[in-house]
């Protein structure tokens, strides 16, 4: 499954009400480290399909979500379990570091 585009409108249903863990990547098109972590996030989305949902929040398009989760640097990756933040990484991370959060 490809990454979901997460917006203010679908955040509740796709992330907070998900019955499986959700990896959410807060990113922007102009961010160099975001471009480096993007393919890793896409790979995780495919490898963990059905076990982990993967979503992306463009901070330029969804500033209210970025503020709600106090995202001050990007990329910022969150793992949500049962509607709560269960892990967070700020900045570029290797795949194994990200997967450990599940």
pLDDT for the residue 75: 98
Residue of 15, 22, 34, 65 marked active site: 34
Domain carrying residue 18: 4-100
pLDDT < 70 regions, the chain: 1
34 is catalytic: yes
Question: How many domains, in total, are found in the chain?
Answer: 1
Q: pTM for this structure? A: 0.96
Question: Which pLDDT value is given to residue 2?
Answer: 82
Active site (annotated) includes residue 37: no
**CATH number reported for the structural domain that contains residue 46 in this entry:** 3.40.30.10
Q: Quick one: pLDDT at residue 51?
A: 95
Q: 35-59: per-residue pLDDT in tens? A: 999 999 999 999 999 999 999 999 9
92: Cβ contacts below 8 Å, ≥ 6 apart: 33, 36, 37, 75
Q: Is 16 helix (H, G, I), strand (E, B) or coil?
A: helix
CA angle 8, 76, 51 (to 5 degrees): 75
Residue of 4, 28, 31, 42 marked catalytic: 31
């Amino acid at each position: 499954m490809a990454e979901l585009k997460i917006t203010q409108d679908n955040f509740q249903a796709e992330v907070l009400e998900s019955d499986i863990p959700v990896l959410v990547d807060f990113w922007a098109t102009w961010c160099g480290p975001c471009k480096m972590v993007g393919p890793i996030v896409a790979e995780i989305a495919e490898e963990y399909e059905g076990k982990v949902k993967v979503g992306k929040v463009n901070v330029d398009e969804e500033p209210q979500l970025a503020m709600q989760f106090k995202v001050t640097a990007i990329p910022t990756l969150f793992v949500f379990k049962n509607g709560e933040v269960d892990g967070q990484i700020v900045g570029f991370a290797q795949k194994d570091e990200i997967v450990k959060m599940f």
